[in-house]
Amino acid sequence: MNQLSAKQLRDKIATRQTSSVEATKAVFARIAKIEPTIGAFISTFEEQAIARAAEIDKRIAAGEKVGQLAGVPVAVKDVMCTTFGTTTCASKILANFHAPYNATVVEKLLAADAIIIGKTNCDEFAMGSSTENSGLKQTVNPWDTKRVPGGSSGGSTAAVAAGLCYAALGSDTGGSIRQPASLCGVVGLKPTYGRVSRYGLVAYGSSLDQIGPITQTVEDCALMLNVIAGHDPADSTSVDEKTSPVTDYLAKLNESVKGLKIGIASSFNAGADEQVRKAIDEAIQTYKKLGGTIVEIDMPHLDYAIAAYYMVATAEASSNLARYDGVHYGHRTKNPNDYIEVYTKSRAEGFGKEVKRRIMLGTYALSSGYYDAYYLKALKVRNLIRGDFVRAFEKCDCIMMPVAPTTAFKIGEKVDDPLKMYLSDIYTIAANLAGIPGISIPCGFDDKQLPIGLQILSPAFSEEKLLRIAQMYEKQTDWHKKRPLI
């Protein structure tokens, strides 16, 4: 498969070397061929997408001004509200839910003249690390269809990796963009908390959730961030651009970071597979050849990140998912005897095992007598972890570490062992607890030809520098150009 990047396609459409209709029809032809194997999409919008592509082609032909993504086919994770199609969160409880409004990021994609071709599969309510927790279907990894694509944004990463779209949006609560990006060999960015509006994102962990782009290249990632970043008055957690202005992330992308200082903690590689460690070490050596220097940093509280995260995230999930009660909207049980049965049976029938598990964990952590011992203590640990990052970034420009401890594991390998599955996010969750940006970029393959990702973290609202650091590496390597033979 040889596919243009999103930016390359946009430029060819703008200069009329090709058309959006041609590109969109080609994408749907590939979906018809490959999607039955991959299972990346919950819904697709072929007729609507081709009609919109035709409109954009007409506007370009007429010399009208068009948006930054004019004519480019993209996908959206099915946890973001759209007025077209359903918004299911890959859950039976919302299988037939039609949102009354678009998420802000969807509005921004439409305003940029992107072609939204479909909504992608994920772990139910974005709770998982393999997309095996979807209540609707199984997504597989395009590099090996017997393996998981990662999660929870596995549908979006699999779609980009398999050439079923040119870019996609995912959401990241504890690594749900970066981990599947690593496992599928694509680029995935979690922006700073507050950099991208969460309005219209179905909430899992409200203080952790962040929408971000999944792309083939760092350049495409910068292009997508240009479109979706910015203040939104509809989101109270969206950051005011007066204090943290949004810049043109493409403008200075190819400028190297002079005097780059890379923070490394020896404990970061603990627990990672040998081949993963080797790939990360080799990537760091590439940066050293480009003039980067290594700075040893100490992150004493990182060992507590998993425990703190699964207290904070599940507590917020317990609160956020209380609204699915069989009364307001979503699945309602048939022939209940009373409203207690409406509530209990609707939730029992609609939610999957992992969602129920996290609701129960969170409810327990918030319950009388345990709030201080669990939830409040987790918030204190979260502050300590945030402080570790603040002190580390006084010494370095960025921190590098693995994205995941292993490459893509086999379907069914960890699904019956929740603790083992939770450890798939051991390297990613700290960035969500601290609210800082992080990116996964392809940096190699293991002996099974499965992709490995390098994770780069930087201070809050430093996405411009983070993307430049990632671009430095991508320009020196060809890992991002490799695509699965499917």
Assign residue 393 a region (left: φ > 0; alpha: ψ between -120 and 50; beta: otherwise): alpha
Mean pLDDT of 357-373: 94
CA-to-CA distance for 117 and 126, rounded, in angstroms? Answer: 21
Angle at 151 between CA 249 and CA 367, to 5 degrees: 105
152 is annotated as an active-site residue: yes
- Active-site residue, 153 included: no
On whether the pTM is more than 0.95, the answer is: yes
Active site residue 318: no
Burial (Cβ within 10 Å: 0-12, 13-18, ≥19) of residue 418: middle
Judge whether 80 lies within some domain. Answer: yes
Is-cis flag, bond preceding 152, omega within 30? yes
Q: CATH number, domain at 81? A: 3.90.1300.10
Q: Which helix (H) or strand (E) holds 385?
A: helix 377-392
H helices of 185-322, in order, are: 218-228, 274-289, 305-320
The reported pLDDT for the residue numbered 419 is: 85
pLDDT in tens, 79-131: 999 999 999 999 999 999 999 999 999 999 999 999 999 999 999 999 999 99
Rounded to 5 degrees, φ, ψ at 401 are -165, 175
Question: Does residue 244 have a pLDDT over 70?
Answer: yes
Q: CA-CA distances (angstroms) from residue 115 to 27, 45, 99, 168, 433?
A: 11, 10, 19, 11, 33
Contacts of 242 (CB under 8 A, 6+ apart): none
Separation CA 412–CA 138 (nearest Å): 11
Confidence of residue 266 (pLDDT cuts 50, 70, 90): confident
Domain carrying residue 93: 6-258+466-481
Q: Which residue has the tokens 């979260």?
A: 382
- Mean pLDDT value of segment 194-217: 98
Average pLDDT over residues 248-265: 94
Q: How many domains does the chain have?
A: 1
For residues 408 and 276, the answer to whether their CB atoms sit within 8 Å is: no
Q: pLDDT, tens digit, for every residue of 438-465?
A: 999 999 999 999 999 999 999 999 999 9
> Which residues touch 87 (CB under 8 Å, ≥6 apart)?
78, 79, 80, 81, 94, 97, 98, 99, 119, 202
Give the pLDDT score at 2: 54
Secondary structure of residue 124 in the 3-state scheme: helix
pLDDT of 269 > 80? The answer is no
Question: Which of these ranges, 73-77, 356-360, 370-374, has the smallest mean pLDDT?
Answer: 370-374
* 337 found inside a domain: no
Q: Which of 91, 129, 156, 176 is labelled catalytic?
A: 176
> Is residue 222 situated within a structural domain?
yes
Asked if residue 371 belongs to a domain, the reply is: no
323 domain residue, yes or no: no
Q: Tokens standing for 390? A: 């603040």
The CA-based dihedral angle spanning residues 176, 182, 183, 186, taken in that order and rounded to the nearest 10 degrees: 100
Query: Among residues 5, 20, 129, 152, which one is catalytic?
Result: 152
What pLDDT does 1 receive?
46
Whether 336 is covered by a domain: the verdict is no
Mean per-residue pLDDT of the chain: 96
| CA 457 – CA 329 distance, rounded (Å) | 39
SS3 for 167?
Answer: strand
Q: pLDDT by residue (tens digit) across 392-435?
A: 999 999 999 999 999 999 999 999 888 889 989 999 999 999 99
435 closest CA partner among 312, 338, 295: 312
Query: pLDDT tens digit string along 311-352?
Result: 999 999 999 999 999 998 999 999 999 999 999 999 999 999
Rounded CA gap, 164 and 28, in Å?
8
Asked if the structure places residue 372 within a domain, the reply is: no
Report the pLDDT averaged over residues 185-194.
98
Compute φ and ψ for 288, nearest 5 degrees: -65, -40
Q: Give me the pLDDT at residue 426, please.
A: 93
The mean per-residue pLDDT over the stretch 341-370 comes to 95
The answer to the question of residue 73 being in a domain is yes
* Catalytic annotation, pick one of 7, 77, 108, 190: 77
d(CA 421, CA 431): 18
| Residue 268: per-residue pLDDT | 75
